[in-house]
Amino acid sequence: MNGAAKKSRSSRKQLVGKRIVLTQSLDGVSDLKEALEKEGAEVYFFPLVQTSLSYNKETAADILGEIATYEWTIFTSAHGVKYFFQIFFEKYKDLRCLGPMKLACIGEQTAKEIEALHLSVDLIPNEFTSNQLATELIEDGGIENQRILVVTGDLNDPTLQSRLEAEGRGIVDAMQVYKTTSVAVVKDDPIKTYCKTGANAIVFASPSAVDSYCKQAKTFQLGKGAQKPLICSIGPVTTNALKTNGITPDSEAKQHSRAGLFDILVEGCK
């Protein structure tokens, strides 16, 4: 047996019998859920948020009409990629209509969504945050007087756009393409089981999931003797949302991605 096989088998043993709660929408954690289950974990999936197409038709028409004039387009999430190109292909049938722009994104999952369209990503920041992306564009790229499009959802932090304009002196347009809404959890058998037994870990991958969880805290209240889960955060923005709601996370992914979450779950659930 080679070393890789030994490592894989060891990982599976570490998660057998471990109960892990995922709180994001299914399209946001499907690969993490699959990876955890392959390693033997029992996954409780409680989607606390959902995304849907949401955009201003007039704004979209203006931006898409000039799409080839942008020198950078920035995607802040995988959802943004999905919904942007849904709108784009209603107007254009050819990816070449994007023009010669460069593409930047936050995170590997967002990059995968772009690459699935046979497009190359020119910049992924070393740390998967809006602030780091802004820093790298401003310091390394030089974006003064360049036209930049930021594709966002309704809950995105405006810091990225403001920094690109104020510090980078870029000409920035924002295009909201989706909205995120809270999902009310029904106290059915899976929830009842969780409240009775608890879990080894509960995972938060966005501030919106944290907010939805806190609004429904009574639904998730653990019974006497239930195992209190470790609180796992995907990154600093989500960690800040947890702390704002009075919850101190036990661990934060070093790599702010689903792969990073997988790593801290394997380590934390030993």
Model confidence pLDDT, tens digit, residues 55-73: 999 999 999 999 999 999 9
Q: What are phi and psi of 148, to 5 degrees?
A: -130, 135
Residue 8 has a pLDDT of: 45
Please give the Cα distance from 231 to 64 (Å, whole number). 41
Q: What's the whole-model pTM score? A: 0.88
Residue 164 has a pLDDT of: 96
Segment 122-126 shows an average pLDDT of 94
Contact of 20 with 269, CB cutoff 8 Å:
yes
Q: Which of 229, 172, 226, 222 is nearest to 204 (CA)?
A: 229
Residue 60 has a pLDDT of: 98
Please give the Cα distance from 33 to 47 (Å, whole number). 12
- 77-95 pLDDT, tens digit per residue, is 999 999 999 999 999 999 9
Segment 6-24 shows an average pLDDT of 73
User: For residue 192, with 0-12 CB atoms within 10 Å meaning exposed, 13-18 middle and 19 or more buried, which class applies?
Assistant: exposed
Residue 62 makes CB contacts below 8 A (sequence gap 6+) with none
Residue 13 has a pLDDT of: 59
- 36-45 pLDDT, tens digit per residue, is 999 999 999 9
Structure token pair of residue 83: 């919904």
Which CATH fold would you assign to the domain 3-48+184-268? Answer: Rossmann fold (3.40.50)
Residue 167 makes CB contacts below 8 A (sequence gap 6+) with 134, 138
| 3-48+184-268 and 52-181 in the same fold | yes
Segment 104-128 shows an average pLDDT of 94
- What strands lie across the sheet with 72-75, from one edge to the other? 49-53, 171-182, 147-153, 72-75, 102-105
What are the structural domain ranges in the chain?
3-48+184-268, 52-181
Own/partner contacts of 59-65, CB < 8 Å, gap of 24 or more, are 59/175, 60/87, 60/175, 60/177, 63/149, 63/173, 63/175, 64/88, 64/91, 64/92
Residue 4 makes CB contacts below 8 A (sequence gap 6+) with none
CATH architecture of 52-181: 3-Layer(aba) Sandwich (3.40)
pLDDT band per the 50, 70, 90 thresholds, residue 267: very high
Residue 25 has a pLDDT of: 83
